[in-house]
Amino acid sequence: MTDRDQRLQVKRYRVRRRKHGTCSVCTFRELTDGRFHCRKWPDRQGSCDTDGKLPKFQFDETVMTDLRGS
Ligand SMILES: [Zn+2]
């Protein structure tokens, strides 16, 4: 992967996180009606890295693979 690819990947990551929330890059994410939220917790969106409850936010490495592009 070139530097440019890597920069694009990071950019896509930031866009995704801003647009779809913290939960969209978390290993515990679930998708309901097009919105990402914590597993089995539809009302909880994006506060999992700060509110101290479980499941706690955990970055999902496979998200970066998805964002690598062609
Ligand atoms: Zn979450």
CA of 14 relative to ligand 1 center, distance in Å: 16
pTM: predicted TM-score of the whole model, two decimal places: 0.86
Domain segments of the chain: what residues? Answer: 3-66
CA of 22 relative to ligand 1 center, distance in Å: 6
CA of 2 relative to ligand 1 center, distance in Å: 31
Nearest in space to 39 (alpha carbons), one of 9, 66, 60, 18: 60
Q: What's the CA gap between 46 and 22, in Å, rounded? A: 5
CA of 45 relative to ligand 1 center, distance in Å: 6
Encode pLDDT of 23-36 as tens digits: 999 999 999 999 99
Q: What is the mean pLDDT of the chain?
A: 94
